[in-house]
Amino acid sequence: MPHRVAVLALDGLLPFELGIPHRIFGRSLEPAPGNKGAKLYEVVTCSVRPPGPVRTDSDYAILVEHGPEALATADTVVIPASYELGPVFEEGRLTEELAAALALIRPGTRMVSICTGSYVLAAAGYLDGRPATTHWSSADHFQRLFPQVRVDPDVLFIDDGDVLTSAGVAAGIDLCLHLVRRDHGAAVANEIARRTVVPPHRDGGQAQYIHRPVPEPQFATTTAARAWALGRLDRPIQLRDMARQESMSVRTFTRRFREEVGASPGQWLTQQRVERARHLLETSDLSIDQVARDAGFGTATSLRQHLQAALGVPPTVYRRTFRASADTP
């Protein structure tokens, strides 16, 4: 039985964001040998009203074929950004129509917002006392309107278990791919990303917006150093050796690296090693000690510390979780 995803289309919605869950979840096919494409998710779009047109923020409306009753049978509800929700944005309260629709959602349903769809989750009480994010340009207003929410404006998305929030637009793609990865493992998520022609994974803790000038074309970049480092993650990597790949001093290289990547070389290396470890835990039978060595952490203890800090779980639990997801029919 496919996991049922209901996407709530509200007046003033952004068509691009409405399409994200359909594109990501709608293309999630079980990659088993001989399988002709059994869907892992069933995606429906619904409205707070009976089936009919819903206005977008563009010069056209969309025809929605499901009413609020679709929310009652959903396993996951996704709320994209919409910009005709006066009481929600101005007073932090739901309209009667929206409140009645959300009341149909079963307890335990996974709730997801894209961009300022987080306002709806907050107004409905789903984010009380929880960490959440939203589009960086709305973060201050969001925090003033919902002081009970722990807002983090500097991340792409936040996974708080049964409630997940993302920053603007493209971060919604990252969050949906993250959910596929969480539900079914990296192989499925990576295949969807490949077919959608987007990066397979951007960590949720990555900055959503960094105010910095674009490097001038004549400036040297740090691309070669990053490629060099990625090819030897299993070995010790010194900052001076990375700088040498670009014929720069350590100080200049560090500054350029921050300008281009939004993180220090050390932070970036740790992120890449965590990703290497995740991939190996999900796709191989290597021992934890070997995963630690191949990812460049050296010891199982170091791997455990870094994975716990980045993902909140130790390697054994992470592997067991994703193996269980991949084995679930």
Same domain, 55 and 92: yes
At residue 313, the 3 state secondary structure works out as coil
Provide the pLDDT for residue 212: 37
Say yes or no: 152 and 282 in one domain. no
User: Does 202 reside within a domain?
Assistant: no
Is residue 203 situated within a structural domain?
no
Do residue 13 and residue 69 come from a single domain? yes
Label the pairing between strands 110-113 and 131-132: unpaired
Residue 149, amino acid: V
Number of domains making up the chain: 2
Residue 126 structure tokens: 């789903």
207 lies in a domain? no
What is the rounded radius of gyration, in angstroms, for the C-alpha atoms of the chain?
21
Instruction: Give me the residue label for tokens 């309209």.
Output: 95
Q: Are residues 189 and 224 in the same domain?
A: no
Residue 74 lies in a domain: yes
- pLDDT tens digit string along 197-210? 776 556 555 544 43
d(CA 298, CA 90) in angstroms, rounded, equals 52
In a domain, 15, yes or no: yes
Both 161 and 259 in a single domain? no
Q: Are strands 163-166 and 52-55 parallel, antiparallel or unpaired?
A: unpaired
CATH number at residue 166: 3.40.50.880
Is 205 a member of any domain? no
Catalytic sites, residue numbers: 115
CATH number, domain at 308?
A: 1.10.10.60
Are residues 146 and 221 located together in one domain of the fold?
A: no
Q: What is the pLDDT of residues 51-99, one digit of tens each?
A: 999 999 999 999 999 999 999 999 999 999 998 889 999 999 999 999 9
Q: Are residues 221 and 152 in the same domain?
A: no
111 & 188 share domain = yes
Note whether 166 and 232 are same-domain residues.
Answer: no
pTM confidence score: 0.68
Which range of residues forms the domain containing residue 23? 3-196
187-243 pLDDT tens trace: 788 888 878 877 655 655 554 443 334 344 344 588 899 999 999 999 999 999 999
